[in-house]
């Protein structure tokens, strides 16, 4: 079983719709410890990604992810927008000229994105950021070769990760200035990833 550009395009449209729905919640969560604009930032990225998708179709996954990276780069210069750009561009380079991606190879692609995001943003696992949920999803799907089973495993792992970090302080970014206040609160980036995961899930899982 393999992921095709047309399947990824459809998933990204669902991803964009889910971001729009989640934006008010993400703004509220971000406002507790940050600027309160995470939802607005991701809405801009989603709008640009839709425009990029409308310019398709794309012959391979590398071109598709490159278009998404360029869209996010134009949409926002925020820290999360930059991480999203880095993730898409890492996938674009890794999947250059690839018309398909075997589902069993998805964990390796996610690991490459995770490494690039950590290097760019300076966060490490355990800092209570989006990286922790991405790592949990990666570990959960390793060895699974079915998209529905991957989503089920990743979804459970992400929920567990969010719950386990709720009692911990944020250790990086603007939120670290309010470390004690962040205890008991969900990290906005983690919740954003939760929504993104639900957005790109196979249509039959929604």
pLDDT tens-digit map of 42-90: 999 999 999 999 998 999 999 999 999 999 999 977 889 999 999 999 9
Sign of CA dihedral 70, 122, 133, 78: negative
In a domain, 58, yes or no: yes
Residue 146 has what pLDDT? 94
Residue 170 has what pLDDT? 86
How many angstroms separate the Cα of 65 from the Cα of each of 47, 167, 170, 204? 15, 35, 30, 23
In a domain, 128, yes or no: yes
Residue 171 has what pLDDT? 84
Query: For residues 85 and 122, what is the distance between their CA atoms, to the nearest angstrom?
Result: 15
pLDDT tens-digit map of 30-42: 998 778 899 999 9
The stretch 191-204 carries a mean pLDDT of 91
Query: For residues 132 and 113, what is the distance between their CA atoms, to the nearest angstrom?
Result: 13
Query: For residues 138 and 124, what is the distance between their CA atoms, to the nearest angstrom?
Result: 15
Confidence of residue 178 (pLDDT cuts 50, 70, 90): low
In sequence order, the β-bridge partners of residue 2 are 102
Distance of CA 56 to the CA centre of its chain: 22
Residue 206 has what pLDDT? 58
Q: What is the CATH number of the domain that holds 100?
A: 1.25.40.340
Query: For residues 113 and 149, what is the distance between their CA atoms, to the nearest angstrom?
Result: 21
Residue 202 has what pLDDT? 81
Which range of residues forms the domain containing residue 117?
2-201
Bond before 57 cis per omega within 30 degrees: yes
The count of domains in the chain is 1
pLDDT tens-digit map of 4-16: 999 999 999 999 9
User: What pTM did the predictor assign?
Assistant: 0.94
Residue 182 has what pLDDT? 78
Q: For residues 181 and 119, which has the higher predicted lDDT (pLDDT)?
A: 119
Query: For residues 123 and 104, what is the distance between their CA atoms, to the nearest angstrom?
Result: 27
In a domain, 206, yes or no: no
């Amino acid at each position: 079983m393999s992921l095709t550009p047309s399947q990824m395009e459809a998933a990204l449209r669902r991803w964009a719709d889910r971001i729009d729905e989640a934006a008010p919640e993400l703004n509220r969560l971000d406002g507790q410890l940050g600027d309160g604009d995470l939802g607005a930032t991701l809405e801009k990225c989603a709008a640009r990604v839709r425009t990029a998708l409308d310019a398709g179709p794309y012959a391979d996954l590398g071109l598709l992810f490159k278009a998404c990276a360029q869209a996010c780069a134009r949409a926002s210069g925020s820290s999360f927008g930059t991480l999203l750009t880095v993730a898409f561009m890492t996938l674009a380079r890794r999947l250059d000229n690839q018309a398909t991606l075997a589902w069993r190879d998805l964990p390796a692609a996610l690991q490459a994105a995770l490494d690039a995001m950590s290097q760019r943003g300076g966060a490490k696992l355990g800092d209570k950021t989006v990286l922790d949920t991405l790592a949990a999803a990666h570990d959960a799907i390793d060895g699974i070769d079915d998209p529905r089973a991957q989503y089920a495993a990743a979804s459970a792992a992400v929920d567990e990760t969010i719950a386990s970090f709720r009692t911990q302080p944020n250790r990086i970014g603007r939120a670290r200035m309010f470390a004690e206040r962040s205890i008991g609160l969900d990290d906005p980036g983690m919740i954003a990833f939760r929504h993104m995961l639900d957005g790109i899930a196979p249509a039959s899982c929604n």
